């Protein structure tokens, strides 16, 4: 049967929808693919260097020790943009491993160029939807730090549903942290910062590093990005949120 016939039949039989729509609903994405034009260098990087740094979106959980070839402290960055700050951190801490997730290919290509130029061996990249990766590929209790720097604020109220950090996703983020691991977010959007702060403070498994339950100064390990420097010139207030996953009694007994 043709798709048009199926649709017509569905319209003629409303009772068919009594138990839900005939077709699966599209998930609300936290991004729109406005990639623009990729440079030749970025295209070349994806072709030549993906095999070195890239992680394919295959079924099943990643084996991070096998992926990096060792056991080390691990950081996950979600939405790394052009990857400059992530490459800087990986270069500054060769004894730690970094996994970055970014959906926009020009940014991935830029990071691959930087990683190659810096001869990084402690960096891997996923080019996919971060929420799907967290749900399907990233194991629980895997990272010492998860960082999300300057996520798209989707400033219009009708677009707030597209924001990456939502109540139902915070628990998912926390699960991916090791007990004692840190969740670090930076944003220059005032109302988004307040929303994230309230969400994190409401999670019993999270402890705010800020003694007053608010924001922290920029930690020394977070490099200044060009985006951030531009925001500062425009008078934007940058806020850092730093939380730790509490160590439960069960985890303390396991490590005793």
Task: Report the candidate in 241, 255, 221 with the shortest Cα–Cα distance to residue 96.
Answer: 221
Q: Is the dihedral of CA 186, 180, 62, 223 positive or negative?
A: positive
- Angle, helices 40-53 vs 105-117, to 10°: value is 70
Q: Which residues are marked as active site?
A: 152
Of 89, 99, 88, 106, nearest to 41 by C-alpha is 106
Q: Name the residue among 91, 202, 77, 196 with its Cα closest to residue 130.
A: 77
**Cβ distance 147 to 185 under 8 Å?**
yes
Q: How far is it, in rounded angstroms, from Cα 97 to Cα 64? A: 9
SS3 label, residue 248? coil
Would you say 113 and 46 are in contact if contact means Cβ atoms under 8 Å apart? Answer: no
Name beta bridge partners: 148. 185
How far is it, in rounded angstroms, from Cα 168 to Cα 165?
A: 8
Instruction: Supply the DSSP string of 156-188, one letter for each residue.
Output: SGGGGGG-S--HHHHHHHHHHEEEEEEEEEEES
Non-local CB neighbours of 42 within 8 Å, separated by 6+ positions: 105, 106, 109, 110, 112, 113
Contact 124, 98 (CB under 8 A): yes
């Amino acid at each position: 049967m043709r798709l048009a016939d199926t649709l017509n039949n569905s319209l003629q039989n409303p009772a068919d929808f009594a138990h839900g729509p005939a077709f699966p609903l599209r998930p609300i994405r936290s991004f729109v693919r406005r990639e623009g034009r990729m440079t030749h260098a970025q295209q070349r990087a994806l072709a030549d260097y993906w095999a070195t740094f890239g992680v394919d979106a295959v079924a099943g959980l990643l084996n991070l020790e096998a992926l990096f070839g060792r056991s080390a402290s691990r950081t996950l960055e979600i939405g790394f943009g052009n990857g400059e700050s992530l490459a800087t951190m990986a270069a500054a801490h060769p004894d730690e491993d970094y996994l970055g997730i970014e959906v926009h290919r020009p940014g991935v290509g830029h990071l691959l160029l930087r990683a190659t130029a810096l001869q990084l061996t402690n960096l891997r990249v996923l080019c996919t939807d971060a929420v799907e990766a967290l749900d399907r590929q990233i194991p629980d209790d895997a990272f010492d730090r998860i960082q999300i720097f300057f996520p798209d604020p989707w400033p219009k109220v009708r677009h707030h549903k597209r924001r990456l950090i939502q109540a139902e996703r915070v628990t998912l983020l926390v699960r991916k942290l090791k007990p004692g691991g840190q969740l670090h977010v930076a944003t220059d959007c005032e109302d988004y910062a307040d929303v994230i702060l309230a969400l994190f403070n409401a999670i019993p498994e999270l402890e705010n590093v800020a003694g007053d339950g608010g924001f922290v100064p920029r930690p020394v390990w977070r490099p200044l990005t060009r985006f951030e420097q531009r925001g500062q010139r425009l008078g934007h207030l940058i806020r850092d949120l730093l939380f730790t996953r509490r160590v439960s009694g069960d985890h303390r007994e396991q490590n005793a």
